[in-house]
């Protein structure tokens, strides 16, 4: 088999291998690009309720138990904080519960993961680190191979179009660097 056939075969097979990862990085890429407008991984939800005035020492576990019981909160209490003398903030499995002890007003904050996007962003932003770093590096090398091997697949009949579009793709980032850097 000559080198052109090898090039085409490798381009095809590595391309197949990259489909899943490319979609993952593309979807997450758009989501993360707009991080100034939204949180791409979570949806913050705030609800308010009133459980009535709470007496007793906020530092006492019994007071906290009463608050959680009034809220019907079944989750495990992780920690607590006193922002001021009349408030108590409780953390239950990622949820924040801010209680005004005198009025009984409660602000319930939940961070709801965006199904699918959170997981994609987790991988895209390399939060797992460890072995995933190697996978991401290999994917980057594979993409570079696809780009270079693609150049050798330009045929005589499509030479003009191939060169034009390839040049445009290379010029595009350079134009923006010239504009913004």
Partner 1 sequence: MRTSLIFILLITLLIPSAVLAKSFGQGVTLSTETAISAILDNPATYVGKKVKVTGLIIDVCSTRGCWIYLAGDRDFEKIHIKVTDGEIIFPMEARGKKAVVEGVVESLEMTREEVIAQRKHHAEETKTSFDPASVTSGEKVLRIRGLGAEIQGL
- Judged by the rule CB under 8 A, the positions of this chain that interact with partner 1 are 35-36, 38-39, 41-42, 44, 46, 78-79, 81-85, 89, 91-92, 94, 96, 111, 125, 127-131
Q: Nearer to partner 1 by C-beta: 7 or 87?
A: 87
Q: Nearer to partner 1 by C-beta: 12 or 46?
A: 46
Q: Nearer to partner 1 by C-beta: 22 or 87?
A: 87
Nearest to 114 by CA among 42, 22, 170, 50: 42
Can you tell me the distance from the alpha carbon of 28 to that of 8, in angstroms, rounded to the nearest whole number?
29
Q: Nearer to partner 1 by C-beta: 19 or 181?
A: 181
Q: Nearer to partner 1 by C-beta: 20 or 94?
A: 94
Q: How far is the CB of 134 from partner 1 (least distance, A)?
A: 8
Q: How far is the CB of 166 from partner 1 (least distance, A)?
A: 30
Q: Are strands 77-81 and 42-50 parallel, antiparallel or unpaired?
A: unpaired
Q: How far is the CB of 68 from partner 1 (least distance, A)?
A: 14
Nearest to 99 by CA among 61, 111, 60, 91: 91
Q: How far is the CB of 85 from partner 1 (least distance, A)?
A: 7
Q: How far is the CB of 113 from partner 1 (least distance, A)?
A: 8
């Amino acid at each position: 088999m000559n080198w052109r056939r090898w090039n085409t075969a490798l381009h095809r097979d590595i391309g197949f291998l990259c489909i899943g990862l490319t979609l993952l990085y593309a979807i997450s890429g758009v989501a993360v690009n707009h991080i100034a407008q939204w949180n791409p991984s979570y949806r913050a939800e705030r609800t308010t309720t009133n459980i009535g005035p709470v007496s007793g020492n906020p530092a006492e576990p019994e007071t906290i138990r009463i608050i959680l019981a009034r809220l019907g909160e079944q989750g495990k209490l992780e920690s607590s904080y006193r922002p001021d003398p009349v408030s108590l903030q409780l953390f239950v499995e990622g949820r924040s519960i801010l209680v005004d002890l005198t009025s009984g007003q409660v602000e319930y904050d939940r961070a709801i993961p965006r199904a699918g996007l959170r997981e994609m962003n987790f991988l895209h932003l390399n939060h797992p680190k460890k072995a995933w770093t190697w996978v991401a590096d290999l994917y980057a090398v594979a993409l570079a191979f696809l780009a270079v091997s693609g150049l050798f697949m330009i045929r005589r009949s499509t030479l003009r179009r191939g060169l034009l579009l390839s040049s445009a793709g290379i010029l595009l980032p350079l134009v923006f660097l010239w504009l913004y850097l």
